[in-house]
Structure 1
Amino acid sequence: MDCPNCSAPHADAARFCARCGTPLHVGIDRSRHFAAHPEEPVRALALMSTLMPHLSGGRHHVYRGVVGLALMGALVAAAFGVLAVALVLAAIALPAVVLIYVHDHDLWRDEPITVIGAAFALPLLLGVGVGLLQDHFYLPVLLNAWRQRLPTPIQILELGVVVPVVAFVAVLIAPTLITARRAFRHPVDAVVICALSGAALSLGLSVVVQRGAFAQLVPSAGNPMRAAFGSLTIDPAQAAFTALTLGFLQPIIFATAAALAVVPLRGPGVNPAPGVAKGVLLLVLYELATTLLAPDAARGIVLTALVALVLAAAGLLGTREALHKSLMAEAQAALAGDVALDRAPDTHQICAHCGAAIGADAAFCQVCGTATAALARHPYPPITATNPAPSA
């Protein structure tokens, strides 16, 4: 059978075009098969396959379990009033998992230290700088003023607009610099680098904003996330919501805001302007919610967590759509001869999702439709007389 889009010939058993990813049968909906993880639809709230798209199907539960255990430990620590432990466990969960993932999948094997240092250490320092900027704007606010009145228009502008715009620029620095190099320009790499950078920047920001939790001191007022640590008598539920927001949801928001801008920038024929606007809007809405809900004390902490949850979900969906479009556009551009297919599979590679053999220079698995650029490398055993090469 021939592909209806590019006319490439395929065997009758094929379900997707190996060159452009187009479904070969009428009953197959491409939107139900995410290009980086075909068992999931494009619009799915799946954290692991979104921020770590190289994952093979058999590894998802490992990273999901690590994050789940870290969050469970944070909640238990918050329940017992050990706030510093709760904050640390929640804040390091995502960056730690991404670093483990990079090591497990041997990404950027030629320059792992350089890339990880630039994608993690630099955003971590920038996050500390953004936190200090927030502190500068919080200084004029009287202690416990958040309990009596709404922030002034100037404070709303500073905390809800200026700070998130600066944070957005900061979170883009490392991914933009790293993906400018040819070896790291692929959209799949851009997502991973943005995930690591966003998580690191969020960690640095949280360390500054919540340093009172570690010193057992009353921090500056003005932020509902700080309010949970405003005294030594702390509601465990407030502490849990604070740890969940700052340690888990905030890193996702920062990571996806960066990915929304960088992935289209590195994908062929994709306009990055809408992604930049979406990324800025994501951070502005998050900081505005944090600022405007500050006077509501305990209820404000819960409402901020709910807003952060919605924004994190929107960021994940937007990132998945951007990555899916970029992978499809790359294959289409390669067909047109505009660019060469990057990350073409090696000879005798198999699909990590369905186990089918993948032909050389294929952009997609013809059985499950996953983009070969997103596959973890799982080559066949060495070819011998008793183990011949599989047929494509």
Structure 2
Amino acid sequence: MSVQETKISLRKIEFPACAKEALSRISQLICRRGPSLSQMDLALDLMAEFVFCEIDKRGNKLPPLNPIKELQLLDILFEYFNGNIKEVFKNTVFLSLFSGTTATLRSRILSKLISIAIGVPSKSVLISASALMQQVGDSSMNYNKLAEAIVKDYFVLIPNATQRLSGLPDFPVPRSLLETVVLWVTANSKLCIAAQQNPSPRSLLETVVLWVTANSKLCIAAQQNPSALPSGTIVMESTTSIAGLLKWCILAPIYKQDSELYANLHLGLLNNILDIPQGYQPKAINHVHLAVPIRYIYKYAASLVRKKDEAEKNRCLLEDVNLQLSLDRYAQAVQVALSTNCVYGNVGELLNQLSQLPQNKLWSIVIAANQPNK
């Protein structure tokens, strides 16, 4: 069937049935071995006109779908991605639908689809979503929009989300919901959950603690279980949430957020790091990310010793319980991470920065134990 015949046949079908048929045609076009450029172009046209209704038959832009049609489309997409199709084919279609130049236009549909998949839950949809998240990268605008929507739907609008989401870590999804939520929060909150200026919902902390303590392999799942991607795809390196979560625990005391939850999260993270398989060391923690808490600790320490002489400064820093707890947690995390060889980047530079932190007994031991000549 020619390009024009394909489009004419679909125009004879009312929405949302045309969207369902278009998805089938799209799958046939792009999931074959080595689709041609013309086949890819046709698939993109079918997505724009018949799935998302972004353009009319002349290529003119249309207004966004009304709420009823949006709900109908979500139903079609949910049914398709839960169908009996090979995982790599589902991921291929998912990436084609929600990445590229049209990704921003479709971010609202994507966010709602994944929220539904979390609530049901749907392992199949979450697996395809994880492939997309891995490829677009956690620093992209669309990734951040998606994570922000998840936080809003499940941690702002729903007061007791923890119990509802407790089973998600059991899904062997390459890029877990934990990664999505935490990478966004740690990237976009100035001081993460420990910030008094921009606190996140308590249910978010409770849920993350539950996930991390229940599954010691969760934080590195994205690196150990890569997504099934189309042949020829350049696989983007996964970033774990370990450093961001450690930042929460380390900074919590100096921002007067030292609840039992942070202690449990800290322990859970140390267990996650210790559980990284020997012999295969994923790049779990970037030295730059691990160094992030330093500037916040400097700022807090400076506020303690302002207008004090040198002798008073040292005594004040050593006697501040919150600062010393923060430094203890930091030292524990760095020592465990270095001992498991999961920190990558310039470790020497990291140690040099850490050696300039305020005095702390545990830090002295860690720095001495990890000098290059040891």
The TM-score bracket by the shorter chain reads under 0.3
User: Which structure is larger by alpha-carbon Rg, 1 or 2?
Assistant: 2
User: What TM-score, normalized by structure 2, do the two folds share?
Assistant: 0.26
User: What TM-score, normalized by structure 1, do the two folds share?
Assistant: 0.25
* Structure number with higher relative contact order (C-alpha < 8 Å, ≥ 6 residues apart): 1
